[in-house]
Amino acid sequence: MRARARWTRMSSAPVAAPRPLLQPADSGRKRAELMVAESATVLLRFHFLERELVRMAAGWLPGTEDWDTKLFLPEMLWQDALVARSLRERILELRYPERRIAPDAEAPLIAIYASFIHAPSDLAFVTALARAIKPHVRQSFARHLARADTLGDAPSVHFLEHAITDLDRQIARLNAIADAHAARRPELTPAADRWTAGVAAALAALPPDMFSRPELPALAAFDVAAAGGMPFAISRTGVRDRRFHRLRFAWPDRHTPQPPGEGVQLQVRQAIHHLNEVWAAEMAGACLYDLLEQAPHDFLDDASRWCFDEIRHCRMGYERLKEWGFGESEMPLDAFSYDSGADADAIVRLGVIFYFETTYIHTKPERAKIFGREGDRMSSHDMDFDWADELIHSHYGKKWLAYFLEKAGTPRQPAEIKKLAEQGVIVLQQGATETDKAATQAVFDRLMAKARGRVGAAA
């Protein structure tokens, strides 16, 4: 009760003093510009903005063709999720004992940002992020920091300053990605430019002090069609960059169970499998996108981390293959593991990634040891860190499958969902045609011939 009384007193309007009191200098008056309730209101709006940015990036991930965008979206959304979590924790501190964080009156503002998902292409989405959305977020954070008290609200100042550092890096990388993508796909540029201009105009029309107003003003909806946008729907099949060798099955053991091999074959096989963990990042992103509105706040934390971890595993294989002299056109990419959840419900899709995490986790420490013994320190290193991540992911899968099943009021159990997920994967594997298998074998033969040739040349 003491804490509640303090909140009421500190949140009430100032009362005129009956007699003269000491007054602060100008610096003191600036420090006292924002009270707790005002600061919490700003942070609340920032929280929902960051949350929406995470959801948009997760939604675009599976349908994004551009490889550089595909690699960066999970990293960006994880960073944004960290900011959203810091904002949430700070809001709860400032609003104590109020424990409810809900959009309510902020819904019109959230709707404007949510509409930015309707970009006409992945290039348009990333260009608008680089040149309109992320700069607007940075400007809004900086405007608040200019008013925030570095003493009384030091925790908020600290993480917002770090968020701006991340934003600067994000904007630079997004611009570089957009430029490179536009150079490869110039036919997408006019629509991307039109979309970005429309998003920028919509953000410029918002009141500069919008985040700090006690109540939001009337906000005009963003005209998606006028900016050339397209109704967004998350892709239920994984889209792959045309620079790679796109196959239904990237390696023979992805359609037909067989020993993984040893020596150079195991090295290349593991790198290809790491590369193709792009599907797992997509599935984690899809689960985040599908289930976020039904979940407690910490689902955002776990799902975004899961998504980022999986794209790091993908990059591990990608980097090793490049180190060994393979170009993108030689690297096989498939999407069958992600595609296996195309016709399933969101809970079964969560089961698909949980199935893979728990079924093959025992191979990680085994191969870390094998590679270490045989002198491949980099593969050993990557498998070791992969294993550490997968232990966390198996906990995520078990935790959230149980949560969503209980919430749905279904008698199904996590083990049953895992079995359904396995069956979906098996159906696709059994659908491998002789043409599919021949295409996979041809790529396998070329990769192994080149790898063995490089080993022989180095001997």
Same domain, 170 and 261: no
Same domain, 306 and 407: yes
Q: Which sign does the torsion angle of CA 278, 445, 448, 432 carry? A: positive
Same domain, 128 and 193: yes
Q: What's the confidence (pLDDT) of residue 18?
A: 65
Same domain, 291 and 424: yes
Q: What are the residue ranges in the chain where pLDDT is below 50?
A: 1-11
* pTM confidence score: 0.93
Q: In degrees, to the nearest 5, what angle opens at C-alpha 352 toward C-alphas 351 and 353?
A: 95
Q: Which domain does 156 fall in, by range?
A: 33-219
Beta-carbon contacts of residue 290 (< 8 Å; ≥ 6 apart): 234, 346, 349
Same domain, 200 and 254: no
- For residue 6, give both structure tokens: 């303090």
Domain assignment present for 302: yes
As for how many domains the chain has, the answer is: 2
For the domain that residue 381 is a member of, what is the CATH number?
1.20.1260
Same domain, 101 and 146: yes
Q: Give the span between the Cα atoms of 152 and 106, in whole angstroms.
A: 26
* Type of residue at 174: L
Q: What's the confidence (pLDDT) of residue 306?
A: 98
Q: What's the confidence (pLDDT) of residue 114?
A: 96
Q: What's the confidence (pLDDT) of residue 27?
A: 59
Same domain, 182 and 113: yes
Q: What's the confidence (pLDDT) of residue 8?
A: 39
* Type of residue at 457: A
Same domain, 192 and 116: yes
Q: What's the confidence (pLDDT) of residue 1?
A: 32
Same domain, 185 and 75: yes
Outline where DSSP puts E strands in 255-347.
332-333
Same domain, 300 and 165: no
- pLDDT 10s digits, 133-168: 999 999 999 999 999 999 999 999 999 999 999 999
Domain assignment present for 9: no
Same domain, 179 and 253: no
